[in-house]
Structures are given as C-alpha cells and as structure tokens.
Amino acid sequence: MKRTLYLFCSLVLFFCMFSNAYGHDYWLLPSTFKPSPGDIIDAGFTSAHEYFGMEETPDIIKYAMSLRTPNGQDLALAFSRVTPKAAWVRIPIFTPGTYVLSAVNTTPEYWTQTTKGWQSGPISDPAGVLKSTRYFKSIKTFFSAGSPTDAYKAVCGFEIEMVPQKNPTELRKGDKLPVQILFRGNLVPDVPVSAIYEGFKAKDHSDRPVQTKTNSEGIAEITLDRTGKWLVFGRHEFPTKDLPGKSFANYRPYILFEVH
C-alpha cells in the first residue's frame, strides 16, 4: 500500500515538473507492428509536434489505457515506467490476430488564451479571456500478430472515436482507408480529418499532406500513397455555453498504424 501511494505521489510530482503537452498531437507507438504470439512488447504514449517521435509525456493521470485482444476481451493496462518523453506500457501478445491499443481521457484537459498569454486549466476569471477550450482525446494503435482478425471493427464507446472500416494492419501502398467518426455513439458529418505519413516534413504544425472531411455518414476516406507509419485524426469542435462566443469543446480521435 505504501509503495502504491509513493508511486502515485511520484507521478503527480513528475507531471508538475514535465508535462505541458496539451497542444500537441498524441500517439501510442509500439516497439513493433508485427509481434508474434507469446511476445511481450513495449509501447510509448507520447505527445509531440514532430510526428512519430517522442517529445513530451502526456498527463497520464487523466488517461485510461486498455488493450482489445483478438478474441474481444478488453484488458486495462498500467504504465510500467515514465520518462520525460513518454509513458510506457508492456503488452502481452496472447494469441494470433489483430490488437487495438487505446488511451482515452478520463478527465478533460483545458487551455485558455488570455490577453496575458496562454494558461492551462478551465476559466477562473472571464476577464481578459480570448478563447477557452476543453479537450478530450481518444488514441488507438492497430497491430496484428500473425493473421489479422476483425477486432479492428470494435466500437469502444469513447466520447469520441475513430473506427476504421478496413483492417489497418492489412493495408498496402495505394490502398484507400475509410474511417468513421462517432461522437457519443452518433455519426458526425463535416468533421475535418487529417492524415500524416512517416517522413513528411511539415512547414508548421497546421501543415498536413492529407486533409478532408467526414460525409453525411460520418466517413472520410484516406488514400495511403506510401509505406510506413500513418497517423489519422479528426477535430470535432463546437461552442459551449460556459462563456458564449469564447468557450469551445474540442474532441479529437486518433488512429495509428503501419502501411506495408
């Protein structure tokens, strides 16, 4: 019990010192996308402006980690170690098939732009507020051990999530990937969707090689024109009543996979 309390307090102190990754994009990066049954692999939960690297550790106190196995089980995962650049989990590979590794907000994150600069946290004093945003993220990574299975189709029930309509672990250069965005279980049209491939050199953080929107069925289609890692993500943002005209909710689903 004392050891658990000590670890928790240490993590809290760690994030006070190191975590300011709210404005970045997020991903879960496994040590391999092609494990074998019986393996135990590592995956880093990280946040960065440079895609597919590891820059800053997200505030893991506000996230829950889980693994969807090929037979449909959902396993809660605990972090095995934490560094300034990533929080790490160990993933047991039980059987052949497709696995879905997920991280999802259990507590929203806030950023507020004021006349004096940016501050984290919800609005405490509306004076001087230019824009305040509440963020909620879900992050998924797909990989297969041996022959792929249909576990990729699982709807996890997150507030916001992206569900691929093809198995991402079977995709090859030139394939198209339809993805569906669900917000509280409902289809969401006109959501901006972006995709970044490994090796893309962005001019700035808003520069993305693929940009599209979901259609009336909440589906957007991405053409995968090269091999390597791909990150696909959406941005469902809308105004809230907290501070009319200045407060917004921003829901972001991410998926990561490797194209062969």
Profile the chain (260 residues) by mean pLDDT over runs of 10 residues: 44 41 77 96 90 89 96 94 96 96 94 84 79 94 97 95 98 97 96 94 77 96 97 96 86 97
Q: What distance in Å separates the CA atoms of residue 75 and residue 167, rounded to the nearest whole number?
A: 20
Total number of domains constituting the chain: 1
What's the domain range around 146? 2-259
Q: What is the pLDDT of residue 36?
A: 96
> Rounded to the nearest 5°, which phi and psi values hold at 100?
-125, 115
Q: What is the DSSP string of 118-181?
A: EEESS-S--TTEEEEEEEEEEEEEEEEESS--GGGG-----SEEEEESS-GGG--TT-EEEEEE
Q: What distance in Å separates the CA atoms of residue 9 and residue 71, rounded to the nearest whole number?
A: 36
For residue 170, what are its two tokens?
A: 């079977």
Is residue 251 within 8 Å of 218, Cβ to Cβ? no
Q: What distance in Å separates the CA atoms of residue 196 and residue 205, rounded to the nearest whole number?
A: 11
Q: What distance in Å separates the CA atoms of residue 79 and residue 41, rounded to the nearest whole number?
A: 13
Q: What is the pLDDT of residue 95?
A: 95
Q: What is the pLDDT of residue 205?
A: 67
